[in-house]
Amino acid sequence: MDEFEFGLFDEQDILLVSGTNDANGLVQLTYGFPEEEAHYEYILEEIDGPAEWQLDDRRIPVHIDIIPDVEPGEYFAKVEYPESLPGFRNTKDGEDCSLIEFEEQCFDAPGTYTFTIRETSQSGGGWIIDDSEFDVIVTVEDDGFGNLVVTNIEYPQGFPEFENTYQAEPICVVISARKRAIGAELPCGRFEFGLFDESGVQVATARNE
């Protein structure tokens, strides 16, 4: 497991102690307190980690009470987490399912081999598929010692990168109201009503049916 650094800060946001997680993700910080009864309110937060990881920016309150023990002159610390037991979550850059990797291609003779990469998915479900095509040229040579080696992989249009666009499909809704008449029979289609958006612009009209 990658190492992340965590810090305990006092009420003035001064770092008191820091430490890293172990191989199981456990974080243990050790800090010495004066041997006297007292109450402290601190903040625990993640302060550093590997460059490829996004840090968890939550600030978790930690309350510590120094309480006299049964033995005279002895004290112990009572630790409470008012919100919840601290648990930090990190997201790793690059772990977003963006890598496209095909199975190995094997060659039994020297030569220049040209491939084309295209997306075969179909647009739908809110997605518009990228219809770009990228050539891949693989050069295979005999090294003279009984081995075929790949000496070059060329991408004439640049390294293949596909961009798909997502947009949710529009949805329609019928908005209804009811008209009632007092003292006379309600004539159909006699009264007109407007539907207005947040800016007060009328977007639709309807009559009683």
Residue by residue, DSSP assigns 161-196 as ----EE-PPP-----------SSSPPPTT--EEEEE
Predicted local confidence at residue 170, as pLDDT? 81
Predicted local confidence at residue 96, as pLDDT? 63
Judge whether 65 and 78 are in contact, CB under 8 Å: yes
Predicted local confidence at residue 94, as pLDDT? 55
Helix, strand, or coil (residue 3) = coil
Predicted local confidence at residue 112, as pLDDT? 97
Predicted local confidence at residue 146, as pLDDT? 85
Q: Domains of the chain: which residue ranges?
A: 5-92, 111-166, 172-209
192, two tokens: 């007109």
Amino acid 178 reads R
Q: What is the mean pLDDT of each run of 10 residues along the chain (209 residues)?
A: 89 94 83 89 94 88 90 86 81 70 91 97 91 94 86 89 88 91 92 94 94
Predicted local confidence at residue 139, as pLDDT? 92
d(CA 172, CA 191): 24
Predicted local confidence at residue 2, as pLDDT? 77
Handedness of CA 10, 12, 17, 19 (dihedral sign): positive
Predicted local confidence at residue 71, as pLDDT? 81
The separation between CA 157 and the C-alpha centre of its own chain, rounded to angstroms, equals 31
What residues pair up with 15 in beta bridges, in sequence order? Answer: 9
